[in-house]
Amino acid sequence: MASLFRSIAILFTILCLSEQSSHARGADSFAEYVPITYKLNQKRTECIYEVFEKNDFITFSVFIVEAMNNGAPIGDIAFEGPLSGNPDIITKIEEITSGQYDNNYDGESSQKPSLGRQLKKGTTSHWPIIKDSDKKVRYDKRMGIINRSLKVDWTHAGESEDAVAARSQIEAEKREAYRNKGRGPPKIDEESVAQNDRFKAKIMSKIEPYEETSPVKAAGWYRLCVSSHYHALMVEMEIRGGNRMGGIDRRTGHVHTYESKEMLDAEKRWNEGIVEAKSKATALTEEEKRALENQVKEQDLHASKSQITHLNSMVTEIKKSHQEFHRRIRSHKASAARNYESMIWSSKLETALYIIITAVQVYTVRKWLSGNALLGK
């Protein structure tokens, strides 16, 4: 019983101290992070921008929450940079253009341009010149340009039987197309082009964001863009930096998410609270030390710390599971809506074909009967 009261007193002290430290650091915490959802209209592009320092790590994350009008959740992703904010870019551009490039902003070189004008200039003028400058260059000689673009498809993501069968069929078609590559004359019809585009797409097997991580060799502004095709999209996208988020998560190989960053900050506050509690304990008077003697032990603090760390990790896993469950529900809802729409169109088409075939049969029989002399007698 005494050990129980002792543990409760320790936990209460640490909670009070950590609450004070969390209020003092409230501006730097990522509690209750909610991802931003962007709406992309048909055949439109949405971009977000972020600045990074050299020797940092970048993780870009994209997830198509929903395709409007029962469309397919397919999007084109582009991750590019640095667009601006790096003097080496201008040097490289002058080298490529042999010094003929004009870096003035509307002829006003004396004034320092705003951030918006710098990004616009970098996007429209700088990037088209330098985006391919690292191709066919030895790795240690590269400037550090990131020019990544791909198509990602969440249509068949999930663990349902239909999704697994569709992914297996696509993989089989890919293998067959690879075996037949180079056989016979090249096909350039629309069907072949559409099939090649589908084979080049990244087919997601899980209902989760698509993420990639890259090191930053060149400081500056980077952007992440998502483009829609024939349907409007609801997209969650973000760019995370290792220096800001606490480095790379060893379990995923990507920069820590806001949830894991929150757990790291909580553990840091617990450690600071324990250190502060120990420092306050050393400042007690002799009478207070004698009164607290044998009440709070070092092993109790370690046990409490391990339990709190385990509790934080469990809370983080519960939040992650809840988020994945929410994504799965929305994805299954969208898949059911697409299947329902497909079934409605199939039913309408079958009904229309039945009516047409029936009308043709009636017309043919009547014409045959009216032209038959034997039946007319």
Q: How confident is the model at residue 181 (pLDDT cuts 50, 70, 90)?
A: low
Is residue 197's pLDDT more than 70? no
- Each residue of 200-224: pLDDT tens digit? 788 888 888 999 999 999 899 999 9
**159 to each of 165, 169, 335, how far by Cα in Å?**
10, 15, 12
Q: Indicate the range of 131-145, 257-271, 289-303 predicted with least confidence.
A: 289-303
Out of 65-79, 123-137, 230-244, 295-309, pick the least confident.
295-309
pLDDT in the model for residue 173: 82
Each residue's pLDDT tens digit, 49-105: 999 999 999 999 999 988 888 788 899 999 998 988 888 877 777 777 766 665 665
| Residue 17: count of CB within 10 angstroms of its CB | 19
Whole-angstrom Cα distance, residue 297 to residue 375? 112
pLDDT of residue 30: 46
Q: What is the mean pLDDT of residues 273-296?
A: 64
Instruction: Estimate to the nearest angstrom the gap between the alpha carbon of 124 and the chain centroid.
Output: 25
CA atoms within 13 A on the CB side of 332: 10
- The region of weakest confidence among 8-22, 88-102, 236-250 is 8-22
> In this predicted structure, what is the pLDDT of residue 261?
84
Count, residues in the chain: 377
| pLDDT recorded at residue 29 | 46
pLDDT band at 299 (very low <50, low <70, confident <90, very high): low
How far are the Cα atoms of 170, 171, 196, 256, 350 from residue 178, in angstroms, in the given order? Answer: 12, 10, 11, 37, 36
Residue 353: predicted pLDDT = 92
Confidence at 289, pLDDT banded by 50, 70, 90:
low
Can you give 284-341 as a three-state secondary structure string?
A: CCHHHHHHHCCCCCHHHHHHHHHHHHHHHHHHHHHHHHHHHHHHHHHHHHHHHHHHHH
Q: What is the DSSP letter of 182?
A: T
Q: What single string gives the DSSP state of each residue in 246-263?
A: TSB-TTTSSBPPHHHHHH
